[in-house]
Chain A
C-alpha cells in the first residue's frame, strides 16, 4: 500500500514537472477548458436558479386569479362584482387585491405597489413570493423590497417620497425591508396599507385590481374556472397551472437557445482536445519511448498521463465552476442576464438565491472531464503499447 502511494506520488511529481515544462501549451488548454466550464455552468446555474425562483413564485400564488375584462383589456373590479360569483363549491377564499405599477424617475425604475389588505375582508393573497407579514403597514408607512432599498440607498426608519400620478408628493416612513431570499419577485415591491394605496393612486373606493381564489383540491380548479366564466362572462380566470406551464416553457426555450450556442462551444472544445490528443507532439512521443525503454511499464505511462489529464481537467473544472458560481450569484450573471432574463424589469442589482443542483454538477462533470480524459488517453495508449526500440535510433 505504502509502495503504491509512493509510486503514485512519483507519477504525480513527474506529471507536475511535465506540465510545468510545457507551460504555455497547458496554460492555454487550462484556460479554454475553464472558460468552457464557466459558460456551461453559468447557464445551468442561472437557469436552474430562475426555475427555482419561478417555483417559489408559484408556490405562493393563488390557484386562480380573476381579472375583469373591458373591451379585451384588464380593468378594475367594481364593487359588488365578487358577490355576484356567489358560492362555488371547492373555493375556500375569495379575496380582492390592490396593486399597481409606479415609475420612479429618480432611479428610472419600475416599482410594484401593493396594498396589504387584512383578512377576513380581503387577506393579502400575495404578489407571489412575498411572504411578508400579513399585518398591513401602519398609515404613512411602507415595507419595501430589498432591491429597491439597495438601489435607493435607504433602510428601515428612513423616509421615502414619491410623487403620485396626480402630482401630489407623498412621504412614507420605511417600516421594514423584505428579506432577499427571492429577489426576482420581491425586489421592486412597495407594500402599503389599503387607505394609503387608494390615496396615492387615487384609486376608486371599493374597486379592486383583481380577485384571487384559493382552491384546495387541484382537480376542482378547472370546474371552478368554468363556473366563473359562466357566472361572470366579462371575466378572465388565470390558472396557476397555466402560468406554471408558460414559465417552464419560457425558461426551457431560453435555455434551449443557450444550450444550442453552447453545443458549438463544446464541439470546438472536443476538436481542440482531440487535436491535442491525436497530435501527440514528437517530444511527447519521444518521452514515452524513453520512459518505456528505461523500465516504465505501459501501465505506468498511461497512469502518469491519466494523472496529467485529471489534474488539468479537474483544476479547470473547479476554476470554471467556482467562477460561474461567483458570476451567477455574486455578479448577477451580468454576462448574459439580458439573454436569459428577457423580461424588461429594471433590477439594479439582481441577486438570485444560490442553489446548486447535484445532478447538474455531475452532468457537467461527465460531459467535460470524461471526454477530455479519454481524448487524451487514446493516443497515449497507442503510443505506449508500441515497442520501445525506436528510442535506440534517436
Chain B
C-alpha cells in the first residue's frame, strides 16, 4: 500500500550543519498490517514516520501511496491526502489546550464543513468507544496522561483514516495503560486499518499484535 524507494532525508541541506537523518530506505507496507519501527535514539524513526504520514517530503527518493506518487505533490494535495488517509497520535499528544476533549476530537474535521450535529455525534461515538464518554466536556489539560492519549486516538480516528500513525505511544504510559493501548491497537487492526508505530518498548516490539518489526540504525534499515 505504501512504497518507499531509496528515501533520503536531509536537515539543513547545504548548510554547515547539514544532517542526513535517512540514507536510502526501501520499504513496502501492506494494508491492514501493523508495523513497528524500532532502533536507537536518533536512528531516524520519527523522521521516517513524518515521510510516511505526508507531514514532510523526502529530500530524495519516491513515496507511493496506493498507485499515486506523492513525493512531488504540492502542499495542498498533501494536506488533503493526509486528512483523508492518516490519523496521528503524537508522542506529546499535541492536544489543543483550553478546549474540551470533544472539541479536540472534532478539530480535524472542521475544514470538511460537515453538519455540526453529525460531526458531534461521530466524535461522541469515538470517545465512548475509548471509555471516555463521561469526560467529553472536560478540558484536555485536566485529563490524565492515559486519558489524553485516548483523546488523541479518538481525534486521529475522527476522519476515519485508513492508516493510524503513532510515535512512541507507550513512552509516557505505565504497564497497565500500555496494555490497554495494545488492546486499542488490536481493535484498529480488526477494523482493517493499517498501523505504523515507533517504539523501543519491548512490550510493543514483542507483542503478538505487531505483524512486523523494522529496525533502523543511522538512517538505514537493519536487515534481520
Contact = CB atoms under 8 A, between A and B. Distances in A.
A389 B114 CA distance: 27
B55 A389 contact: yes
B92 A21 contact: no
A5 B115 CA distance: 10
Contacts of A290: 94-96
Nearest to B99: A17
15 contacts: A4-B113, A5-B113, A6-B113, A6-B115, A7-B112, A290-B95, A292-B79, A293-B88, A294-B155, A295-B82, A297-B79, A298-B79, A388-B55, A393-B46, A394-B90
Interface string B105-129: 0011011111110000000000000
Contacts of B110: 7, 10-11, 14, 296, 300
A392 B76 contact: no
Contacts of A286: 94
B97 interface: yes
Given A17-B103, A290-B94, A293-B94, A392 B111 contact: no
Interface residues of A, number: 37
A393 B108 CA distance: 19
Contacts of B88: 293-294
Contacts of B76: 297-299
Contacts of B49: 392
Given A290-B94, A295-B82, A299-B76, 15 more contacts: A6-B114, A20-B98, A21-B99, A283-B97, A292-B79, A294-B155, A295-B83, A295-B108, A385-B75, A387-B55, A388-B56, A389-B47, A391-B55, A392-B49, A392-B167
A17 B98 contact: yes
B107 A294 contact: yes
Interface of B: 46-47, 49-50, 55-57, 75-76, 79-80, 82-83, 88, 90-92, 94-99, 103, 107-108, 110-116, 155-156, 159, 167
B159 A295 contact: yes
A291 interface: yes
Interface string A253-294: 000000000000000000000000000000100110111111
Given A292-B79, A387-B55, A394-B92, A7 B111 contact: yes
A131 to B, nearest CB: 60
A24 interface: no
Query: Lowest 4 A-B CB distances belong to which pairs?
Result: A295-B83, A21-B98, A7-B113, A394-B92
**Centre residue among B46, B76, B111, B115 by max chain A CB count within 10 A:** B111
A3 interface: yes
What's the dominant secondary structure at chain A's contact region? Answer: helix
A391 B89 CA distance: 11
Nearest to B87: A294
Contacts of B82: 293, 295
Q: Which of A7, A20, A295, A387 has the most CB of B within 10 A?
A: A295
A20 B99 CA distance: 10
Which of the listed residues B94, B110, B115 has the most CB atoms from chain A within 10 Å of its own CB? B110
Contacts of A389: 47, 50, 55-56
A291 B79 contact: no
Interface string A293-316: 111111110000000000000000
B77 to A, nearest CB: 10
Nearest to A297: B79
B111 A297 contact: yes
B46 A392 contact: yes
A20 B113 CA distance: 22
A298 B79 CA distance: 9
Nearest to B50: A389
A283 B97 CA distance: 9
Contacts of A6: 113-116
Contacts of B47: 389
A21 B97 contact: yes
A33 B37 CA distance: 52
B104 to A, nearest CB: 9
Interface in A1-32: 2-7, 9-11, 14, 17-18, 20-21
Contacts of B80: 297
A392 B155 contact: no
A307 to B, nearest CB: 12
Contact of B111 (A287, A296, A388, A394): A296
Nearest to B51: A389
Contacts of A387: 55-57
A391 to B, nearest CB: 6
Contacts of B155: 294
A227 B110 CA distance: 81
B171 to A, nearest CB: 11
A293 B55 contact: yes
Nearest to B161: A295
Contacts of B115: 6
Contacts of B95: 290
Contact of A10 (B50, B56, B75, B113): B113
